[in-house]
Amino acid sequence: MLELDGLTRRFGDFVAVDDVSFTVPEGHMIGFVGGNGAGKTTTMRMAMGLLAPTAGEVRWAGREMTRTDRRRTGYMPEERGLYPKQGVLDQLVYLARLKGQPENEARLQATGLLERFALADRGKDKLEKLSLGNQQRVQIAAAVMGQPQLLILDEPFSGLDPVAVEAMADLLREHTAQGIPVLFSSHQLDLIDRLCDGLVILNRGRVVANGSRDELRSTGRALQQVRLDHDAGWLRGTPGVYVADVDGTSAVIELLDDGARRLIVEEAMRRGNLLELKEIRPSLSEIYREVTA
């Protein structure tokens, strides 16, 4: 389990990351969300030991994370690029060897990854000779070289073509299935919605939301969609009901106390028919907009 505890980073008077704490449990995929300048990259750089925290601590398996732990962490920096003038296979092996993987093992893993991305015959080519999409696939392979025990990826999906997005998603899921914690940042909320077990929303350097999708959804106001076969205007006078919007026979309301639901059902049946009364589940982007507003 990766634990970030009270991480803070100041650049002069500017507080880029302010008391950020969250965990990435074994086998969990956590999405890291926030606008530009929210502090995601700074947080990840601190987690990787590339930037010293002004305060706080990064822990792995319950103790302070060491260089050896980080050596076994797959990391993808925000602005990516490998060596353009080196052979694809060679640089994958090089990166893995620096992470401490023996050469023959690294070669085996790299060959396997290239086969998986249908790049087996391009292993000897220089990276710059590959199309942009294929270069991205090599980049993905680079992140998981050296049998990492933790993945920290800064915007791994940005700029990927749809096929590469799926390849990346599959690869990440395989890692979490093996119990490896994965933390990645992204602007693509739909992807996070689809892939992640939990998400952390950062705004101006602070964590403004942290939890599973359902947990986050339940923290916002629970609105109800009401559909009747008659005019919905009467809802406005009902006690315990806040009416957000009325449009002819339908309305969006908030139930302020437990008895209100029963009251509405009874009154609606008296006046005609109640066609629908259901909770509106806010999308992640709605939650995001709400917490970062």
Partner 1 sequence: MNDNRVEKPWLIVATREILVKVTDRAFIVGTLVSVALIVGMLGLQIFLSNRTSTTKAVVTTSEARTFADQVGTVAHQRDDKKSVEVTQLPDAAAARAAVTAGDADVYLAKTEQGWQLTFKDSVSGDLKQIVQEQSVQDALQANATRLGTTVAELQRGTTVTTQILEGSEQQAGLAQAVGFIFAILFFMSALGFGLQIAQSVVEEKQSRIVEILASAIPLRQLLAGKVVGNTVMALAQMILYTGVGLIGLAFTDYKNLVPALSASVAWYIAFFLAGFLALACIWAVAGSLASRQEDLQATTMPLTMILTLVYVAGFTASGMVQTILSYVPVVSAVLMPVRLVEGSASWWQALVALLLNIAFAALTVYLGERIYRRSLLQTQGRIGYKQALQLTD
Is residue 10 part of the contact set for partner 1 (CB under 8 A)? no
Is residue 27 part of the contact set for partner 1 (CB under 8 A)? no
Q: Which of 6, 55, 85, 244 binds partner 1 (CB under 8 A)?
A: 85
Q: Select 6 or 100, whichever has its Cβ closest to partner 1.
A: 100
Is residue 52 part of the contact set for partner 1 (CB under 8 A)? yes
Is residue 125 part of the contact set for partner 1 (CB under 8 A)? no
- Which amino acid is residue 14, in one-letter code? F
Q: Residue 226: enclosing H or E segment and its boundaries?
A: strand 223-228
Is residue 73 part of the contact set for partner 1 (CB under 8 A)? yes
Tell me which stretch binds partner 1 (CB under 8 A): 65-73, 166-174, 253-261, 278-286: 65-73
Burial of 292 (0-12, 13-18, 19+ CB in 10 A): middle
Tell me which stretch binds partner 1 (CB under 8 A): 47-55, 236-244, 267-275, 284-292: 47-55
Tell me which stretch binds partner 1 (CB under 8 A): 19-27, 61-69, 205-213, 271-279: 61-69
Q: Which of 22, 32, 75, 288 binds partner 1 (CB under 8 A)?
A: 75
Helix axes 132-143, 103-116, angle to 10 degrees: 140
Per residue, what are the HEC states of 25-92?
CCCCEEEEECCCCCCHHHHHHHHCCCCCCCEEEEEECCEECCHHHHHCEEEECCCCCCCCCCEHHHHH
Helix axes 103-116, 88-98, angle to 10 degrees: 130
Name the site residues for partner 1 (rule: CB under 8 A): 45, 48-52, 66-68, 70-71, 73, 75-86, 90, 94-95, 97-100, 102, 142, 146
